[in-house]
Amino acid sequence: MAWRLKVVPDQTNIDFFRAQWLFFWGSWVLMAAAIAVWAVMGLNFGVDFQGGTTIRTESSQPVDVGAYRQALSGLDLGDVAITQVFDPTFDADQHVAQIRIGIQDGEEAVSGEAIARAEAALRAVDPEVRFTSVESVGPKVSGELIRSAIIAVVAASLLIMVYLWMRFEWQYAVGGVVALVHDVIVTIGIFALFQIRFDLTTVAALLTILGYSINDTVVVFDRLRENLLKYKTMPLREVMNLSVNETLSRTFMTSGTTLLALFALLIWGGDVIRGFALAIIIGVLLGTYSSIYVAKNLVLYLGLPRGDKAKKPSRNAFADIDA
């Protein structure tokens, strides 16, 4: 007989709804705190959204942020941010810095002459410095990117709600979309709290979070709908608890294997992709949590039709897959 690793037993009887209202209202408090942090501290927008020029430098000499800042301070470049980039994949003599020059009022972009002066000043501090990349984005483009990002997230959420409404009852749609909003807002709040760079790759991660989170929610919703028809007299709370337990092994294995790949990207993927990997890691953890303690709790509060009034699952090629 083949040996199989069992992380979760076949039969579990965990009472996920023992402290259901504590988790439910705690989730709303967490969302409010995330919005407050977002409003007070703001997001650390990358050049994609803020506009300006980012110069990436590389040298065999250690980065002296103070010397870099002093060299650029007399050039009248406006808002300049200098950060040293750390990465475990870098060589021992590979020292990388990122210099962001913001667009000044009334200007459409940082001029080429200003960039050249900045590079010359940095070479005076470190003659071995190399400029591996220079990226510029104007304020008009960055404003369009912000609007497009907001539209993409809102449109994806609305389409997911329409899908859930058509496939299930309206209560499922409301619960699923509120859980998605919870995941996105809390993720953005974490980025604001720790001032992690927020750029287009982060928006891509947020859209990925929407798809991943709703996938886990739909799996439990589908099992819940089947169990509602199977256990017509069982209280809704117990049916929900049974459905979550029956899909627990699938949730654990899917989230676990996804996190293994994401942590590998976070550690060894380099600083360019680190924000993307971190956002999805946060989203996977939040999505697993919100599928139970936000979406299911909200559906439990709204109630569901029982018996013949319940919407029956359609029979298709995937209907018999064991989740």
Looking at 83, 114, 137, the residue that finishes a domain is 137
Chain centre distance of CA 122: 35
DSSP state of 307: G
Phi-psi region of 254 (alpha: psi -120 to 50; beta: other; left: phi over 0): alpha
Neighbours of 194 (CB within 10 A): 11
d(CA 2, CA 48): 52
Residue 199 shares a structural domain with residue 257: yes
Mean pLDDT by 10 residues, the chain (323 residues): 57 77 88 94 77 81 83 75 77 82 64 81 85 73 73 84 81 86 91 85 84 83 85 85 85 87 85 82 89 84 67 49 42
133 and 154, same domain (yes or no)? no
> 104, 137, 170: which is the final residue of a domain?
137
Two tokens at 304?
């569901």
Are residue 25 and residue 91 in the same domain, yes or no?
Answer: no
- Read off the CATH number of the domain in which 62 is found: 3.30.70.2040
Asked if 123 and 152 sit in the same domain, the reply is: no
Give the total number of structural domains in the chain.
2
Is residue 150, in this structure, part of any structural domain at all?
A: yes
With 0.85 as the threshold, say if the pTM is over it: no
Question: Cα–Cα distance between 125 and 263 in angstroms, integer?
Answer: 37
What's the pLDDT score for residue 316?
A: 45
Residues 175 and 150 in one domain: yes
| 65 and 101 part of one domain | yes
Residue 12 lies in a domain: no
Geometric angle at alpha carbon 111, from 107 and 112, rounded to 5° = 170
Q: What is the pLDDT of residue 320?
A: 43
Q: What pLDDT score does 31 carry?
A: 93
The strand pair at 197-198 and 44-45 is best described as parallel
Residues 6+ apart with CB under 8 A from 90: 96
Last residue of a domain, one of 137, 164, 190: 137
- The CA distance from 78 to 103, in Å, is 7
CATH number at residue 272: 1.20.1640.10
For residues 158 and 210, membership in a common domain is answered with yes
The DSSP element (H or E) to which 82 belongs, if any, is strand 80-85
Instruction: Judge if 164 and 114 occupy the same domain.
Output: no
Pair (61, 155) in one structural domain: no
In a domain, 215, yes or no: yes
In a domain, 84, yes or no: yes
Domain that holds residue 110: 52-137
Residue 10 lies in a domain: no
Per-residue confidence (pLDDT) for residue 108, from 0 to 100 = 58
- In a shared domain, residues 24 and 150: yes
Same domain, 150 and 298: yes
Domain presence at residue 9: no
With H, G, I as helix, E, B as strand and everything else as coil, classify residue 14: coil
Is residue 181 domain-resident?
Answer: yes
In a domain, 276, yes or no: yes
In this structure, the answer to whether residues 74 and 182 fall within a common structural domain is: no
The residues near 35 (Cβ < 8 Å, ≥ 6 apart) are: 185, 189
- The per-residue pLDDT of the chain, averaged, comes to 80
